[in-house]
Amino acid sequence: MLDEAGGRPFPRHVDILIVAMILAFGAALACVFGFISNDSWDYLFLAQSIRRGLGCTEQGAYFATFPCGYPLAIAMASPFIDIPSLFISSKVLNLVLLLFTFILLARSPLRTVTAALVVLNPVSLRIYQFTWSENLFLFACAGSLASIAVIHRNGRSGWYGVLLAASLVIGCSSRYVFGPFAAMMFVCVALAWGRQTAIRVLPSFAVAALFFWAYQRFNVQHTGFSTGMPRIPAPESIVLLLYTFVHASVRVVLTYCATAAIFLVLVRARFSSFTRTCIEGERGRCHLFLLLLGAGALLLQFALRVRTQFDPFDARTLGYGYVFMLSAAAGLLMRIDDKPVTARALIVYGVICTLLAQGPGFALRIMRIPKAPLVPAIAAMNDYKIAPSDAALIVSLEKPRVNETIEGVGALYYPPDKIVVSPGIAPYRTPETFADFRTRVLAQKAATCALDFTPFESAQEFGQYLDATYPVDLRLHFRLAAPEFVFRDSLDPTMRDWLRSRFVPGRYVDCGL
Amino acid at 131: T
| Boundary-marking domain end, from 329, 364, 399 | 364
Pick from 16, 40, 32, 24: nearest CA to 105: 16
Give the strand pairing for 484-489 and 469-475: antiparallel
Same domain, 403 and 346: no
Q: Is residue 247 part of a domain?
A: yes
Rounded to the nearest 10°, the torsion over CA 74, 78, 82, 86 is -40
Q: Is residue 270 part of a domain?
A: yes
Q: Is residue 240 part of a domain?
A: yes
- In angstroms, rounded to a whole number, what is the distance separating the alpha carbons of residues 240 and 243? 5
CA angle 503, 504, 508 (to 5 degrees): 95
Amino acid at 511: C
| Boundary-marking domain end, from 364, 395, 413 | 364
DSSP reduced 3-state for 75:
helix
- In angstroms, rounded to a whole number, what is the distance separating the alpha carbons of residues 255 and 46? 33
Q: Is residue 126 part of a domain?
A: yes
Rounded to the nearest 10°, the torsion over CA 208, 56, 381, 455 is 100
Q: Is residue 323 part of a domain?
A: yes
Question: CA neighbours within 13 Å on the CB side: how many for 492?
Answer: 15
- In angstroms, rounded to a whole number, what is the distance separating the alpha carbons of residues 272 and 122? 26
Same domain, 416 and 317: no
Same domain, 59 and 188: yes
Same domain, 221 and 168: yes
Q: Is residue 200 part of a domain?
A: yes
Q: What are 296-326's pLDDT values in tens digits?
A: 999 999 999 999 998 899 999 999 999 999 9
Q: How many CB atoms lie within 10 A of CB 13?
A: 8
Pick from 118, 1, 18: nearest CA to 341: 18
Contacts of 184 (CB under 8 A, 6+ apart): 293, 296, 297, 299, 300
pTM over 0.85: yes
| Boundary-marking domain end, from 333, 364, 395 | 364
- In angstroms, rounded to a whole number, what is the distance separating the alpha carbons of residues 288 and 71? 33
Burial class of residue 347, CB neighbours in 10 A (0-12, 13-18, 19+): middle
Sign of CA dihedral 212, 164, 188, 350: positive
Pick from 97, 100, 114: nearest CA to 9: 114
Rounded to the nearest 10°, the torsion over CA 43, 46, 50, 53 is 170
Contact 9, 107 (CB under 8 A): yes
Instruction: List, for the chain, all residue ranges whose pLDDT scores fall below the cut of 50.
Output: 5-9
Contacts of 217 (CB under 8 A, 6+ apart): none
User: What angle do the packed helices 159-174 and 69-77 form, to 10 degrees?
Assistant: 100
Same domain, 168 and 232: yes
Number of separate helices (H) and strands (E) present in the chain: 20, 10
Domain that includes residue 398, residue range: 386-510
- In angstroms, rounded to a whole number, what is the distance separating the alpha carbons of residues 505 and 458? 5
* Predicted pLDDT at 5: 45
Pick from 92, 93, 102, 192: nearest CA to 141: 102
Same domain, 394 and 345: no
* Predicted pLDDT at 281: 81
- In angstroms, rounded to a whole number, what is the distance separating the alpha carbons of residues 299 and 321? 9
Q: What are 403-436's pLDDT values in tens digits?
A: 999 999 999 999 999 999 999 999 999 999 999 9
Same domain, 321 and 394: no
Give how many domains the chain has, as a whole number. Answer: 2
Q: Is residue 25 part of a domain?
A: yes
Same domain, 341 and 430: no
* Predicted pLDDT at 6: 43
Sign of CA dihedral 452, 454, 455, 456: positive
Q: Is residue 479 part of a domain?
A: yes
Give the strand pairing for 449-452 and 393-396: parallel
Same domain, 347 and 391: no
* Predicted pLDDT at 274: 64
What is the per-residue DSSP string for 311-375? SPSSHHHHHHHHHHHHHHHHHHHEE--SSPPPHHHHHHHHHHHHHHTT-TTHHHHHHTTTTS---
Same domain, 360 and 454: no
Same domain, 116 and 23: yes
Same domain, 275 and 353: yes
Give the strand pairing for 484-489 and 508-510: unpaired
- In angstroms, rounded to a whole number, what is the distance separating the alpha carbons of residues 393 and 32? 34
Q: Where are the beta strands (DSSP E) in 387-499?
A: 393-396, 419-421, 449-452, 469-475, 484-489
Pick from 200, 189, 193: nearest CA to 280: 193
